[in-house]
Amino acid sequence: MLERIPPGETIVLDLCYGTARNITGKAIYRNPACFLHPDAAIALHRAAGFAQALDLRLHIYDAFRPSEAQWVLWRHLPDPMYIADPREGSNHSRGVAVDLTLADRQGRVLDMGTPFDDMTMASHHGSVAVSREAQANRFLLLGLMRAAGFAHYAFEWWHYELPDANSYAVLDDRQAATGMMGQ
Ligand SMILES: [Zn+2]
């Protein structure tokens, strides 16, 4: 079963697919919540500890994404470079992927050069199309997420997942019992 991650001192929840602030322009989750597989939750709390030592917080945009929601995204943008084909299964729908950035103690997100879900080459790790400060902030996020046990994805600075993500089962909302899709 998945573990619910509550907001707290080191973790800010800003679940974009529960609002219109996402690539579809509409809320996809009726009951937005942050759920992860317990293995990913352990790594996330480790990353939050690393961030806290630097007076930073994890600012989470998305975590578990029921496969119904993956279909909504795929129909909007069927490009496998940026959206996993729901027939193969997104690692978000396995509960072992998280989209996030870093925020300071006042809750201001660090400059990463592009917004979350900006599906352009400027979002790729190592892009020099963004400022040096943004490059450094991305590498800071990369370092603490890797040290916590996550793998990165070359085309999206905000996406992290467990290295053995494919060994976890894909779940729809009923199987995960999160109620996020409001069924
Ligand atoms: Zn992602």
pLDDT tens digit string along 45-93?
999 999 999 999 999 999 999 999 999 999 999 999 889 999 999 999 9
Q: Give 173 Cα–ligand 1 centroid separation in angstroms.
A: 17
**Structure confidence at residue 82 (pLDDT):** 87
- Residues annotated as catalytic (active site), given as ranges: 156
Separation between Cα atoms, residue 29 and residue 123, nearest integer Å? 25
Q: Give 98 Cα–ligand 1 centroid separation in angstroms.
A: 6
Confidence of residue 183 (pLDDT cuts 50, 70, 90): low
Separation between Cα atoms, residue 97 and residue 149, nearest integer Å? 12
Mean pLDDT value of segment 24-50: 97
Q: Which domains does the chain have, with CATH numbers?
A: 3-176 (3.30.1380.10)
Q: Whole-model pTM? A: 0.96
Separation between Cα atoms, residue 140 and residue 100, nearest integer Å? 13
Look up residue 43 and give its DSSP letter. H
Among 97, 70, 69, 98, which residue's Cα sits nearest to residue 84? Answer: 70
Alpha carbon 132 to its chain's center? 23
Q: Give 133 Cα–ligand 1 centroid separation in angstroms.
A: 23
pLDDT in tens, 105-143: 999 999 999 999 898 999 999 999 999 999 999 999 999
Partners of 122 in beta bridges: none
The CB density around residue 80, as the number of other CB atoms within 10 Å, is: 10
